[in-house]
Amino acid sequence: MGTEALAELLETNDIAGMQRWLAEHPPHEIADELGRTDPVTAILLFRLLDKNEALTVFEELDPPDQQKILSGQRDQAFYELVEAMDPDDRARLLGEAPAKFARRVLAGLSREQQKMTAALLGYPQGSVGRHMSPETVPVREESTVEQALERIRLKGADAETIYTLPVVDDHRQFVGTVTLRSLVLAAPHQRVMDLVNANVPRVQATDDAEDAARLMQEANLLGLPVVDSEGRLVGLLTVDDAIELIETADTEDIARQSAASPWSGHYMSAGVGQLARSRVIWLLLLIVAATLTVNVLQVFEATLAQVTSLALFIPLLVGTGGNAGAQAATAAVRALAVGEVRAGDVLRVAWRECRVGLLLGAMLAAVGLVIGTILVDFPVAAVVSISIVIVCGWAAVVGSTMPLLAKRLGIDPAVVSAPLVTTLVDATGLLIYFLVAHVILNL
């Protein structure tokens, strides 16, 4: 309901109404509307927010939308917004922004924030360092619970989280973490060293951010300590950033599974050109790969001229093989992404998927035999059925092993998209089809 009303308020330029609408909606819904709308309207709406609300809404926006909003702010508001951002959010914004914009942001920051942001930007794109919070509240292992809580009270306001606290020893070396929960539930005179979780997983700042996020999920952590190559603490990855990393990774994997490149930003605010760019490369590669199907059919053109009814089943056969291959590829890519399958499992996976494919092929062949016999005749139907069994088994093996082989070669398994598998299976499927036809029909 809210949305329909807002569109109308924008249409009639009803400022008082817009202010009412903004007051009635929570920050994340306002942020969603700003992401959906054009830049001028977004900036107008944003200016109507009161200062505190504006900051909260701003933090909920995706980096491209933050850039869109910032570009419309006058200097003072611009600098206030970027100064108030968490360092990791700021690094994410700058990582995607044009150089001129990034320089303007960095120039306006306080010395301290400038230093922190520059440090984060020093880590490679996609690494944990780009997403961690450098502002933590380390507590000393020899302090008492009471002293630790006192320190948290003094220093905690600036930290992104105080629920996971890094513990350091006398020499400021990282020894583990303690949770605020255990501090609050413990007796005040207990020592932090008796509560510390020394076996907590930790990652290096240069490690892959998605892997770190999935580790947090598996180990049920709200904060994951990040260390440098010498084991010194440099920050914490917080759970809200981990969720966002996982969501972004899933969105990218899903886009790749359909042979599109991921793009950052809101679907509704992406332009026609942007959407086309994210899809065109793979479509071009695939149409070139599909030339193979033309070659195979040319080889068998005489057979086709002799038994024209074979042509009738080409889309059904390649479609079915493609579907079976796409299912196997999608399952393998996902299992790799969530860590259920490793690259070393390739033979086990191939053998299982081969049996799955043949079993599915047998069931589909039965249907194919009926369809073929009714629509054409039994011999052609038999060719179609036998081909379906072989093609499904082959498609399942190709689809499931290609992502694992890609991973072994250090390529993102998600580039083994369903359309890629389908296109490869198309050409080989036709080859199988005509070879079976030659044997069965004695051509």
- Sign of the C-alpha dihedral, residues 206, 209, 210, 211? positive
Residue 371 CB, shortest distance to its own copies, in Å, is 5
- To 5 degrees, how large is the angle CA 334–CA 339–CA 345? 90
Residue 185 touching its own copies (CB under 8 A): yes
Beta carbon of residue 40, minimum distance to its own copies (angstroms, whole number):
18
Q: Does 378 bind its own copies (CB under 8 A)?
A: no
The nearer residue to its own copies, 11 or 75, going by C-beta atoms, is 11
Question: Footprint of its own copies on residues 220-279 (CB under 8 A)?
Answer: 220, 222, 239-240, 242-244, 246-247, 250-251, 253-255, 257-260, 266-268, 272-273, 275-276, 279
Pick the stretch among 76-84, 115-123, 225-233, 285-293 that binds its own copies (CB under 8 A). Answer: 285-293
Q: Which residue, 15 or 288, is less far from its own copies as judged by CB?
A: 288
DSSP 186-234: S-TTSBGGGT-BTT---EETTSBHHHHHHHHHHTT-SEEEEE-TTS-EE
Residue (20 or 172) nearer to its own copies, CB? 20
Neighbour-count burial of 292, counting CB atoms closer than 10 A to its CB (0-12 exposed, 13-18 middle, 19+ buried): middle
Question: Taking CB under 8 A as the rule, does residue 66 contact its own copies?
Answer: no
| Contact assessment for residue 223 and residue 237, using Cβ atoms and an 8 Å cutoff | yes
Q: Which amino acid is at 92?
A: R
Distance CA 21, CA 178 (A): 43
CB 343 within 8 A of CB 407: yes
Scan residues 291-350 and list those touching its own copies (CB under 8 A): 291, 293-295, 297-298, 301, 304-305, 308-309, 311-316, 318-320, 322-324, 326-327, 329-331, 333-335, 338-342, 344-345, 348
Rounded Cα distance between 290 and 369, Å, is 27
Contact status, residue 246 vs residue 210, Cβ threshold 8 Å: yes
CB atoms within 10 A of CB 442: 7
Residue 184 sits in the site that holds its own copies (CB under 8 A): yes
Angle, vertex CA 394, rays to CA 388 and CA 400, nearest 5: 130
Count residues near its own copies (CB under 8 A): 119
Say whether residue 199 binds its own copies (CB under 8 A).
Answer: yes
Distance CA 145, CA 141 (A): 10
- String marking each residue 392-431 x if it binds its own copies according to CB under 8 A: --------------------------xx--xx--xx--x-
- Residue 11-40 contact track with its own copies, rule CB under 8 A, x = bound: ---------------xxx--xx--xx----
Nearer to its own copies, 158 or 170 (CB): 158
Least Å distance, CB 228 to its own copies, is 22
Task: Tell me how far, at minimum, the Cβ of 36 lies from its own copies, in Å.
Answer: 8
Place of tokens 């086990």: 348
Where does this chain touch its own copies (CB under 8 A) — which range of 70-78, 91-99, 119-127, 149-157?
A: 149-157
Q: How far is the CB of 210 from its own copies (least distance, A)?
A: 13
Handedness of CA 139, 141, 142, 143 (dihedral sign): positive
Residue closer to its own copies, measured from CB, 79 or 161: 161
Single residue of 219, 347, 405, 443 touching its own copies by CB under 8 A: 219
R_g over Cα of the chain: 29
Smallest separation (angstroms) from its own copies to the CB of 282: 8
Is-contact 169 191, C-beta < 8 A? no
CB of residue 342 to its own copies, shortest distance in Å: 7
